[in-house]
Structure 1
């Protein structure tokens, strides 16, 4: 199960979640960060570090944000790696 970044991340500039990721699986664009599901090691370290409570395990993503599961996979491939 991969971690998924959802809607509350949009516009967040605090990148505390990136600093704890042992797999460097975050990617970013000008709006938010995304987790590459192929690189995520499912450690869940990023969940408590997210200041907007936007990160969930794939099976725990709230219904209104389920589309972010695919969005993370698509945008992680399209966007450069995130920088701290």
Structure 2
């Protein structure tokens, strides 16, 4: 099993989660993070660290977010690993409760 980053991370991209990951399975894109399903060891340390509740165990991903399983796998192959926390984006609080953000995802 793996953990998955879902839509609420888009344009928030808070990196609190990456610091606790023991295997560096997070990958960073321009405005979103993903988890490499091949590297994730299902330790569950990242999930409680996410301030916008964007991380789920793969068997608990909401039905309308299931497509993020495939998206995490795809983008983790293209994006670089991130292992250290970075400053929060200036406008993350404006985006934290916005729904339907997929069109804002930058690849």
**For this structure pair, what is the TM-score category when the shorter chain's length is used for normalisation?**
over 0.9
Q: Report the structure number with the largest CA radius of gyration.
A: 2
- Structure 1 consecutive aligned stretches of length 4 or more whose deviation exceeds 4 Å: none
1:4 aligns with 2:10: no
- Number of aligned residues: 84
SS at match of 1:39: coil
Output the aligned Cα RMSD: 0.9
Could you state the TM-score of these two structures normalised by the residue count of structure 1? 0.96
Unaligned runs of 5+ in 2: 85-107
Could you state the TM-score of these two structures normalised by the residue count of structure 2? 0.76
1:38 aligns with 2:7: no
Distance 1:13 1:50, change over 3 A: same
Distance 1:34 1:13, change over 3 A: closer
Report the counterpart of residue 19 of structure 2 in structure 1: 19
- My pick for the range that moved more, 44-53 or 9-18, is 9-18
CA–CA distance in structure 1, aligned partners of residues 62 and 52 of structure 2: 14
